[in-house]
Amino acid sequence: MKGNRKILAIDDEFAALTKMKTLLSEYGQCEVATSGGQSIALVKYALAEGKYFDLITIDIELPDIDGITLLSQILKEEEKHDCHSVKIIVSAVSTTTNVCRAANNHCDGFLVKPVKRQMLHEKLSSLGFL
């Protein structure tokens, strides 16, 4: 089952995105995006093809769109396709504002950057992803 899972990691920082892809590849096939526009295009394509993402990680600070706004757009696209099974995790520097914004906008989890392997594993386990 692990190998069949589709994952999307979204981050505009190359080092953070490379690390996240490496960590997430242990749990399934991981695609990457560096902007909100690219991310929405990938999500729309996956939904249209019926090949939904099982997990999406979103950096809260992207160059073209705020990660929380992107989260909202992804949820709206899922609603259009009656798909609500994706788990969405927001990642950012830990501030009260970031954590509250993520929680108040229906994300499934929050990861403090820099993301560590054990922290990611524990979050995925708590979400029932493993």
pLDDT tens digit sequence for 73-118: 999 999 998 876 789 999 988 677 878 888 888 899 999 999 999 9
**Nearest CA to 84 among 54, 48, 128?**
54
Cβ–Cβ < 8 Å for 106, 76: no
Helix locations, the chain, DSSP H = 14-24, 36-49, 67-80, 96-104, 117-126
pLDDT at residue 9 greater than cutoff 90 = yes
Residue 79 one-letter amino acid = E
pTM of the model: 0.92
The domain defined by 2-113 folds into Rossmann fold (3.40.50)
Do you know the residue count of the chain?
130
